[in-house]
Amino acid sequence: MSNEELKELLKKAGLSKKAFSEILGTSNQALNNWATRGVPYWVESWLNLYIENKECKELKEIIRENVCKE
């Protein structure tokens, strides 16, 4: 995964590098180091799952608001 692909996934996830590093419990500098060392193999799948979960939560809220009215 390239740094450009990482930026795109972060954008799609609605996360800044700072927010992502806080979620991971690491420093922003560690993420910046990926520019030279390469993005770890697990980041792409992690972000894709984060995005999918976010979309599911949004869909769940829409359903709750429109279908589960009492």
pLDDT digit string, tens, across residues 3-56: 889 999 999 999 999 999 999 999 989 998 988 899 999 999 999 999 999 999
Cα 48 to chain center, whole Å?
A: 7
Q: Give the per-residue pLDDT at 70.
A: 59
Domains of the chain: total: 1
Q: Give the per-residue pLDDT at 2.
A: 87
Q: Please enumerate in sequence order all residues whose Cβ is within 8 A of that of 3, keeping only pairs 6 or more positions apart, or say none.
A: 34, 35, 39
Of the pLDDT bands very low, low, confident and very high (cuts 50, 70, 90), residue 67 is: confident
Confidence (pTM): 0.81
Residue 40 lies in domain: 3-66
Query: What sections of the chain are H helices per DSSP?
Result: 3-13, 17-24, 28-37, 42-66
Residues for the chain: how many in total?
70
58 three-class SS: helix
Q: Give the per-residue pLDDT at 69.
A: 67
